[in-house]
Amino acid sequence: MGIIAIHGGLDTSREKPYLEVLQEAGLKGYQLLDRGYIQALEAAINTLEDSPKFNCGYGSVLNLNGVAEMDASIVDGATGRFSAVAAIRQIRNPISVARRLMEKTGQVLLAGQGAFEFAQKEGFPEGNCISEEQFRAWQKGKDRLARGMSPSQNLFTGLEYRGDTVGCVIWDGENLGAASSTGGVSLKMPGRVGDTPCLGGGIFASRTSAVVCTGVGEAFVETLTAKYVDEEIAGGAHPQQAVEQALKRLDELRGAQGGILALDYRGRIGSAFNAGQFPVVVVIDGMIKENFEPVNLRPVLSGE
């Protein structure tokens, strides 16, 4: 018994090749659920980090200097343990480094060179995280900036389409957990860190719920949106009601776009977004839930 729900990021394509990778990730995670929900979370996110189709690990967007700086975090709702890495470079599976940090140290967050050195010490191989497609997009964006024009690529994806922060929530029938991984936003300032490694901002898990967010990270951090969702569920709201209310609140407070995925201690799911697309795959008791779609609030919030 158990549920894994995983999303591919805001404005990520819902075309078959992308959904297939998300389905593979969800199923891989579920297969490891009997070994522990934290290991299952890691395996699911690893699958997306290894694919160039998503903005995390290999395929991350590049900053202004043409470097992939990545953030990742993992939360154990049962124990309250949390660990994250921020602005880490040249490590293809940042979520695995975050898990190792949680299980082998008393540290909560490592950033930049320190995170990279910890990863190397723990045996994680150095690797290229820049896909050819993202490199071409970066060149195009820099060229437009040099000519005094705005970059044409999507802020979240770094491309003309697809892939912001990815995230996963899990329930093994008793315990809850959450994990996220991202390359951040396209052409960001070097050293910029978003909401993914900020507990309560872009990710949260407790004995009540597990929550992951994607979108404009600064807005989620400033409004503590993930924690807000958890508090709403703890107060009696259904996860669907909680995520929809959180996005309306985010729009009111910051005028920001986002997607939120949540799961509670009863195995109830909530998912909503207010941007272009937000692909979500749900695996229940080892089976993919067919035709699952998050609620699109964009027409409501924009008055369309």
Q: Report, as residue numbers or ranges, the catalytic residues.
A: 165
**Percentages of the chain per state (helix, strand, coil), in multiples of 5:** 35, 20, 45
CA distances (Å), 251 to each of 8, 115, 217, 258, in order?
A: 21, 33, 13, 9
Strand residue runs (E) in the chain: 3-7, 70-76, 81-88, 109-111, 166-171, 176-182, 203-205, 209-215, 258-264, 269-273, 280-284, 287-288, 295-296
Amino acid identity of 303?
Answer: G
Listed residue (213, 227, 222) closest to 180, CA to CA = 213
Tokens of 143: 């060229």
Could you tell me which residues are beta bridge partners of residue 86? 111
